[in-house]
Amino acid sequence: MRDPRYGDREYDYLERYIIEEMVEDYQEQQIPRREMIRRVLLITGSIPATASILLAMGCGPSATATNTVPAAATTGATTAAATTAAATTAPRAVSPTTGAAATATRPTTPAPGTATRPATATRVATAGGTATRAGSPTPTPNPVTVSPTDPAIEAGPVTFPGQGVTLRGYKSQPRGVAEAPGIIVIHENRGLTEHIKDMTRRYAKDGYLAVAVDLVSRRGGTDGVANPGDIPAILGQQANRAELGQDLLSTVDYVKGLPNFAGPKVGVVGYCFGGGMTWLLATLSEDIGAAVPYYGPPPEPIDDVQKVTAAVLAFYGENDPRITNTLQAVEAAMERYGKTFEYKVYPGAGHAFNNDTGPNFNAAAARDAYQLSLDWFERYVQS
């Protein structure tokens, strides 16, 4: 069903996702109003359309930025009842933090071809507090947690062939290991940042050959964009959709062709926009054994999940209704098509809770989700 906020033009789900991200950034006081308008205009290409969309989203001339989120994305979103349904499943996945520690869960191995919720286990994650735009915990000022010169790994920029383009990326791997399981790390809508490079190094420290592709490669790469604020619009433009899919497939080929790739399957993990790209790649490639989207929009139409052959573990923040409201439709579709699917909703966590350089960082949720990601890759990529 067409979202009335977008008028008569058809915007695909990733365009809508990026526009709503920009509005959310403004409403949460990350960017000024003028910058929000400029970025949305890069997507719509029309001043009247931009004005109409922003007015429909509560960002009219008299609006002021507040700590609120825009209406739920239309990508598979249901009514307010879906919000309640998603939130009320959370106690089965994570107990709300009540003190110095929070009881979390580990997904259990599902029966083949079933969609499941994680069962309660006994993992304990130390509380990191509920992160908010203005509150704690404070994000790390330095995006590096694993140094590129760490003696346990080898890390650095790479280039590899795409379809009609040389793709840029960043590769990290365990030092001195003849073979390692391979995973692809997909960046947020800010491009290939230092934080994402650091995520590849974290996975390398845990034994993985990890490659992050720069999905801005066809526009000169993330570092080649003069105004970093333009990157979300570049990534969100519908005209680039086929190229993004092809560049992801080229990355799969690159990882599989590395001499130290253990194979046979590749894992993929992505964050924010990269979470959406993780879903997309899972629908495009049978070489993906495990997919881990963090707070990303699902495919549209939702029935595209029938093409998924990977085991999917998805993470959501309770305070991220724009994305978490899509969960009910995702779960139903994955179950309908007999797919292996588990998810976890973190109480008190918002969008981008994993990014320890951003204002929504939630240490407890990020720590637990990372360990569960490792468990998932061990189960479905290494086995």
Query: CB of 65 within 8 A of CB of 29?
Result: yes
For the chain, the 3-state helix, strand and coil shares in percent, each to the nearest 5, are: 40, 20, 45
Q: How far is CA 95 from CA 120, 126, 136, 366, in A?
A: 9, 12, 20, 15
- In the numeric block, the tokens 């089965």 are attached to 92
Query: CB of 237 within 8 A of CB of 43?
Result: yes
- In the numeric block, the tokens 């490792």 are attached to 374
Is residue 59 part of the annotated active site? The answer reads no
Report which of 173, 171, 169, 148 is spatially closest to residue 160, judged by C-alpha positions: 169
In terms of DSSP H, where are the helices of 70-193?
Answer: 80-93
Choice among 206, 214, 320, 368 that is catalytic? 320
- 130: Cβ contacts below 8 Å, ≥ 6 apart: 97, 319, 348, 349, 362
In terms of DSSP H, where are the helices of 191-240?
Answer: 194-205, 231-236
Report which of 204, 46, 127, 34 is spatially closest to residue 368, judged by C-alpha positions: 127
Q: For the residues of 318-363, what is the DSSP string, one character each?
A: TT-HHHHTTHHHHHHHHHHTT--EEEEEETT--TTTT-TTSTT--H
Is residue 356 part of the annotated active site? The answer reads no
Choice among 25, 59, 206, 351 that is catalytic? 351
Number of Cβ within 10 Å of residue 252's Cβ equals: 21
Residues 212, 302, 334, 280: what is their CA dihedral angle, to the nearest 10 degrees? -10
Choice among 214, 272, 356, 368 that is catalytic? 272
For the chain, give the number of residues: 383
Cα three-residue angle 354-298-200, rounded to 5 degrees: 35
Paired residues of 66 in beta bridges: none
Is residue 272 part of the annotated active site? The answer reads yes
Query: CB of 372 within 8 A of CB of 151?
Result: no
Residues with active-site annotation: 272, 320, 351
